[in-house]
Structure 1
Amino acid sequence: MSCNDPIKNENARGIDVSRWQGDIDWTRVAAAGITHAIAKMTEGGDCTDPKFVTNFQGMQANGLKAGVYHYFRALSSTPCEQLTNIKGRLAEVAFNAKRDILVIDVETNRNEGASPDQMADALFQLVTLIRVSLLEGAYPHIYASPSIWSNRLAWRKYDFSECPLWIAHWEVAQPTVPETWSAKGKSWEWWQHSSKGQVDGIHGPVDLDWVKS
């Protein structure tokens, strides 16, 4: 490699979207070099993203590797209620458990009243329900930031390391992998590295991700 050669990033380019991105031109997104995308689907036991079906179908129609995410609520709804919500939305699209990924988004916003134990207990129940009922024994991905995962959730109570990691760590050269995974010799599969991306076909900022291919 010479000084004139471009630096190569071996990771694929991904984005994650929700209703906040408005109407997306997925043909232009694909032409811009984005190969992976995840759409918000559900939240808690009764909330759904109004753009989910359109976004998921747009991803698939334009050849992107598609995924869905569910925003986890520890207290406002039970894991069973959240599973029912997820199932209802997945029934509206051509989701394939062997091809498409399903992510549980773990954040503290709207979970402020939950203790670390309550966060871990409810999350483990939801992971188990999704694995058994929807993913034919496979584990859902987990999305979290290093600080929230390490400090706001009693992660030592259960083995979450089988869940592929989608790490949210912005403006760093390399993300911090929480001990849940690093102690088992595992790393991230998706890395959300920016919340301020610009992609053709999307008006305004969008989350950018690197995806290990």
Structure 2
Amino acid sequence: YEVHGIDVSHHQSRIIWDSVAAQEIHFAFVKASEGVSLNDSLYCFNWDEMKRVGIRRGAYHFFRPSFPAEEQVENFAFQVEMAYGDLPPVLDVEVLDGASKIQLITGVRTWLYLAEIQYGAKPILYTNLKFYNRYLAGHFDEYPIWIARYNSREPRLACGRDWQFWQYGNEGKVNGIAGDVDFNVFNGSLSELESLCMAPPMILSQR
């Protein structure tokens, strides 16, 4: 895989993004929000810095199935203003929080639908391989998928579909980041990654 990236949150403390950008890091996802009211304390810093140093950036929301999906989209949208060239919004789904499978799928579908309207791009769905195969396989095939599987063998999804991003390790070392960081690859070329990024609006010629 030729296209590599990381994902971060306040757990990585304050990152020296100039040092990160000097390495083969093609993209980075940063935590923005969680549930209906939680926000990542370093989101604004990370978001602005990624833009400044020229790393393709994306933002994710940690989904809490026991809270209304509509309010969770509002929480994310209040934080995250996206620009052309940014990666689509990401929904991180990895806990049930006591919700049923039907409640989970309904909530996830609502969040993805509303976020697509909000940003004009199909969101990316993040989850781990076991959670995907147990609860989400066969649903959401129209959305790009980002799968966590800490293994040297690439993930195989129960429904047979391809993955777009693979989080293959959580003990990565990167200059500019104290402690461990998650490592990811994109299943494609750099130009394919760029085509996944948010496009400028179509300007129709006036006749």
The reply on whether 1:174 has 2:159 as its aligned counterpart is no
The reply on whether 1:160 has 2:140 as its aligned counterpart is yes
The reply on whether 1:61 has 2:47 as its aligned counterpart is no
The code of the aligned residue for 1:84 comes to E
Q: Which residue of 2 aligns with 1:3?
A: none
Within a 5 Å distance, the mapping from 1:20-31 to structure 2 comes to: 20-31=11-22
Distance 1:57 1:176 in 2: 35
Within a 5 Å distance, the mapping from 1:43-192 to structure 2 comes to: 43-75=34-66, 77-91=67-81, 95-96=82-83, 99-108=86-95, 111-132=96-117, 134-136=118-120, 138-151=121-134, 153=135, 155-156=137-138, 159-179=139-159, 182=160, 186-192=161-167
Q: Deviations over 1:161-194 (max 9, x none)?
A: 1110111011232122341xx3xxx411111000
CA separation of 1:203 and 1:147: change in aligned 2, threshold 3 A: same
CA separation of 1:99 and 1:23: change in aligned 2, threshold 3 A: closer
Unaligned runs of 5+ in 1: 1-8
Deviation at 1:135, TM superposition (A): 2.3
Aligned residues of 2:133 and 2:157 also touching (Cα < 8 A): no
Secondary structure of 1:58 counterpart: helix
Deviation at 1:145, TM superposition (A): 1.1
Distance 1:189 1:163 in 2: 10
CA separation of 1:50 and 1:160: change in aligned 2, threshold 3 A: same
Q: Deviations over 1:42-84 (max 9, x none)?
A: 0011010000011111111111000000001111x21111111
Q: Deviations over 1:29-51 (max 9, x none)?
A: 01122120000000011010000
TM-score w.r.t. length of structure 2? 0.85
Secondary structure of 2:166 counterpart: strand
Number of residue-to-residue matches in the alignment: 188
Aligned-residue CA RMSD (Å): 1.5
Distance 1:210 1:192 in 2: 7
Q: Which residue of 1 aligns with 2:196?
A: none
Deviation at 1:97, TM superposition (A): 5.9
- Runs of 4+ off more than 4 Å: none
The code of the aligned residue for 2:146 comes to W
Secondary structure of 2:119 counterpart: coil
Distance 2:85 2:54 in 1: 16
Distance 1:103 1:86 in 2: 10
The code of the aligned residue for 1:194 comes to G
CA separation of 1:143 and 1:154: change in aligned 2, threshold 3 A: closer
Q: Deviations over 1:106-131 (max 9, x none)?
A: 001xx331111111111111111111
Q: Which residue of 1 aligns with 2:201?
A: none
Deviation at 1:155, TM superposition (A): 4.8
Secondary structure of 1:66 counterpart: strand
Aligned residues of 1:97 and 1:135 also touching (Cα < 8 A): no
